[in-house]
Structure 1
Amino acid sequence: MGLACVQIDLLDEVADLFEEAKGVLKVEYGPHHPDTLGVYSKLAGTYDAMGRWEDAIEILEYVVGMREEKLGTASSDVDDEKRRLAQLLKDVGRDRTKKDLSLEFLLDG
């Protein structure tokens, strides 16, 4: 339903639906489940489109952390989420610190 609302540009409704789905999946599957994290990621994208950048950044930071914890830092899913987060931070004039880059920081050092 949320994705259908995206198609017709009803972002407030999309956010409400993804927030509801996030709550249900978090209870049913837990906060680390891939489906739950997928909805978190979609909610972050919705917030980004709405101009709610701080909310989007907070959610993407959470998703990156959870995906790193479950999949490791070498996963393409983790890389994709990190790129999204880095681009969003760049767009709002912020940047990830070296400590946020985890394994990348260790390998470069």
Structure 2
Amino acid sequence: MATIEECRTALEKLSDNMANAEGDVREAAALDRSVSCHIKDLDVTFVGRLENGRIVVRDTLQGPPPEKAQIRLAMAGDDLVALVDGELHFARAWGSGRVRLEASLFDLFRLRKLL
């Protein structure tokens, strides 16, 4: 089971990947939205913002997110690490229920370029 530190590192790596992206991926990452990522097996939520093409984690909270972020992710810690490391394909994980992504329809269309 991934630790809180490993999950935070995975989110930082994802943020770096998005910031260094080009073309459609960079455009999709240019949203300015509140973000939460609930790590179900650790019962921890990282909350922050997607801004300037980066995920900025502002807090780590125990339990599910207290407020509804505009972009919400939920998954196990091992799945987050595997997704960022390229070992788990997002569409398959989302389709099978291992990863939950909730956002407005507009944001989902933009975010699909990241996936």
TM over 0.5: no
What is the TM-score with the length of structure 1 in the denominator?
0.32
- Kindly name which structure, 1 or 2, has the bigger radius of gyration based on alpha carbons: 1
Structure 1 or 2: larger strand share?
2
What's the TM-score once normalised by structure 2's chain length? 0.31
Give the number of the structure with larger relative contact order, counting CA–CA contacts within 8 Å between residues 6 or more apart: 2
